[in-house]
Amino acid sequence: MAITLASGFPTSNNASGLNTLSYTVVNIGDLIVLQIRMYDTTATRSVSSISGGGVTTWTRAGTAYTYSTTGNYFSYETWYGVSTSTGAKTATVTYSATPNQICELVGFELISGLGSSNTWGVAAGQSGNTGSSTTHTWPTLTSDGTHTLQAYLGYDDYSAGSITSVSTGFTGYVTSYANEAIFFIVMSTS
């Protein structure tokens, strides 16, 4: 048994103040993950909640990562939930206040093959600014050792338009705003 990525994923979209992402859910019991990039010129923004998207209960994975430079405020959050219905869906993000610049939403559907009997959760998480304009170092995560099936998802706000480097076993994805997302859908439990 292994985790696989559903057809049509990853998917992404971007626009000023964007708060929706549409996609098609393949199976009930799959993990839907949204990576959210917020950019504002007046204050740090956050996600208050997410609704819809074929998920009944959305949960924030860890804490938000934020940073600012003069007059520019960036926030990144990852949310997840288990799919409870299939077909064409739209996830709607509610912000603390609508960001006044480009927001990007990236979506994943991960299939365990166990159907609705599977239990999903977050084993580890990390965020940080560990890159430069040409290189990004992805965080090293350690398995919690209790889950047989694990996945690694990452997001890099780099706007390179291409994948600069991805470790063996990882797959890179250039998002709609030319940023990078990576995923590795089978992690060792040790």
Q: What is the pLDDT of residues 148-164, one digit of tens each?
A: 677 877 777 765 555 65
Q: How far is CA 143 from CA 39, 97, 125, in A?
A: 31, 35, 10
- Burial code of 56-93, b = ≥16 C-beta within 10 A, e = fewer? eebebbeebbeeeeeeebbbbbbbbbbbbeeeebebeb
CA geometry: angle 154, 4, 90, nearest 5 deg? 70
pLDDT tens-digit readout, 7-21:
999 999 999 999 999
Q: Residue ranges per domain, the chain?
A: 4-184
Identity of the residue numbered 94: T
- Percent of the chain topping pLDDT 70: 79
Whether the model clears a pTM of 0.95, i.e. scores above it, the answer is no
Higher-confidence residue of 1 and 172: namely: 172
The answer on pLDDT for 132 being more than 60 is: no
pLDDT of residue 54: 98
